Amino acid sequence: MSAPRHVLALIPARSGSKGLPGKNIRAFHGRPLLHWTIAAARASGVAERVIVSTDDAAMAEIAQAGGAEIPFLRPPELARDETPMLDVALDALAKLEADGFVADALLLLQPTSPLRGAKDLQAAAALLGDSDAVVSVAPVKQHPHWLQRIDETGRLQPYEPASEAARRQDLPAVYALNGAIYFVRTEALRRERTFRPAGTKAYVMPPERSVDIDTEIDWQLAELLFSSATP
């Protein structure tokens, strides 16, 4: 399977965030949060086009100022809290195809991962090989073998069957999606209707670049990590 030639970087940035209102355009280290993802996408050279999908005209202007294309505004029915990201991606692909641009791979980049850099995008693209997709993950600190639940009597019970491993070093490594990178061939996206089709490869990112901003605490942590990583 050949490497994709026409890659679309799609950055979803709707208005109306409930967890942290206005976060996509809030200043993060002197620039709108959205601009960090646009800059990483452009600097990586992975995508032929970098597009922001938004329903908000003011956000569209900010995105354009950061170097992204805004070929259309997202319709209101695709900007609700419950709207699946798959529908947003397929809508964008269809609109661009109607204008003559046919992407053979989609690079979905959420603006809430500002610590993900251009080198991460390049590494994920290089990992694709003959697979249909690459998705970024990060190591899980709290291993599922040690998770507990509270039963109806208030007593702790293992969430999973108890493991014989007593030390973290003896447990198998586990990872969680960090939301930073979804790189998928468009044919597979349409066929399986998921960003993680069968055989998806994992691009492992360190925890310090894996913060996905959803709350004020996430924001403060991301700012702290950014500051500590900057010489």
pLDDT surpassing 60 at residue 46: yes
CA 108, CA 105: separation in Å to the nearest integer? 10
C-beta contacts of 87-91 below 8 A and 24+ residues apart: 88/10, 88/12, 88/53, 89/10, 89/189, 89/195, 90/189, 90/190, 91/53
- Strands 31-32, 105-108: pairing is unpaired
Per-residue model confidence as pLDDT tens digits over 58-78: 999 999 999 999 999 999 899
Q: What is the mean pLDDT of residues 53-60?
A: 94
Q: Give the pLDDT band of residue 168 (cuts 50, 70, 90).
A: low
Q: The pTM is what?
A: 0.92
Neighbour tally for 194: CB within 10 Å? 14
Contacts of 52 (CB under 8 A, 6+ apart): 11, 12, 13, 34, 38, 59, 60, 63, 68, 69, 70
Is residue 21 scored above 60 in pLDDT? Answer: yes
* Segment 171-228, tens digit of pLDDT: 778 999 999 999 999 999 999 999 999 999 999 999 999 999 999 999 999 999 998 8
pLDDT of residue 162: 62
Determine the pLDDT at residue 231: 44
List, as one string, the DSSP characters of 69-138: B-SSPPPGGGSSTT--HHHHHHHHHHHHHHTT---SEEEE--TT-TT--HHHHHHHHHH-TTSSEEEEEE
Q: Is the pLDDT of residue 129 over 90?
A: yes
Q: What is the pLDDT of residues 83-102, one digit of tens each?
A: 999 999 999 999 999 999 99
pLDDT of residue 230 exceeding 80: no
Work out the mean pLDDT of the chain and round it to a whole number.
92
